Structure 1
Amino acid sequence: MAYVLQVDFKMDGPFGDEMAEAFSDLAKSINEEDGFLWKIWTENPEANEAGGIYIFETKETAEKYMKMHSKRLASFGVEEVNAKVFAINSKLTEITNGPVK
């Protein structure tokens, strides 16, 4: 069973192409995290929010990353991080074309 890590936080930017350029090295480094499968990067410039939806192989690897990432965000000045781990219901996700098997 795979697990979702849902993260969001306040951020003043950058967004869009500038965000992609600024965080491309970070994105590449996430690929090296233990148990990491994939991520969808999220942003809402109007609300000054960013975050992501991550998929990890196990609950333990998702929780480990969540703790590390929260500390990293704090070092960037992000004071409040909303982060939750969820189990994925693979049977229903498959019906709705989710990329999790």
Structure 2
Amino acid sequence: MWQHDSYVTQGEGMSKTLLQIHFNFSGPFGEEMTQQLVGLAESINEEPGFIWKIWTESEKNQQAGGIYLFESEETAQAYIKKHTARLKNLGVDEVTFKLFGVNDALTKINHGNLCR
């Protein structure tokens, strides 16, 4: 099951798209996760429109995912398509993702980084 919610509205002062993904994950977590996924992390840097990612994990809740920033909704959607196929090949049956527009001006006031 793939759950998708899109809240993106590209108004004035909104140029970037934030992507939130999470899914059930039995590990590894922490340092072992880092060691096993460093290649994947490096490859994500090459995705079109990709700006940054915050990796998320919860061993307690058996979940993992990330918060991503992309240049546009189109580049975020392209990444979703690629990443959900990758996860499906790894046996992940259910992925939840949400897209949000980013208010650039307010984000900058609160020290949010909108570039690489």
Matching residue of 1:24: 38
Match of 1:40 among 54, 61, 71: 54
Aligned-pair identity in percent equals 50
Counterparts of 2:71 and 2:60, CA distance in 1: 33
Matching residue of 2:25: 11
Q: How many residues align?
A: 101
TM-score normalised to structure 1 length: 0.96
Provide the secondary structure at the position in 1 that maps to 2:60: helix
1:97 aligns with 2:111: yes
Counterparts of 1:28 and 1:84, CA distance in 2: 23
* Aligned-pair CA distance for 1:14: 0.5
1:74 aligns with 2:74: no
Counterparts of 1:10 and 1:95, CA distance in 2: 34
TM-score normalised to structure 2 length: 0.84
* Aligned-pair CA distance for 1:84: 1.2
Question: What stretches of structure 1 of length at least 5 have no aligned partner?
Answer: none
Counterparts of 2:93 and 2:35, CA distance in 1: 23
Runs of 4+ in structure 1 deviating by more than 3 angstroms, as ranges, are none
Deviations 1:16-62 (A, max 9, x none): 00010000000000011011111000001100000000111111000
* Aligned-pair CA distance for 1:97: 1.2
- Bigger relative contact order (CA 8 A; separation at least 6): 2
1:2 aligns with 2:16: yes
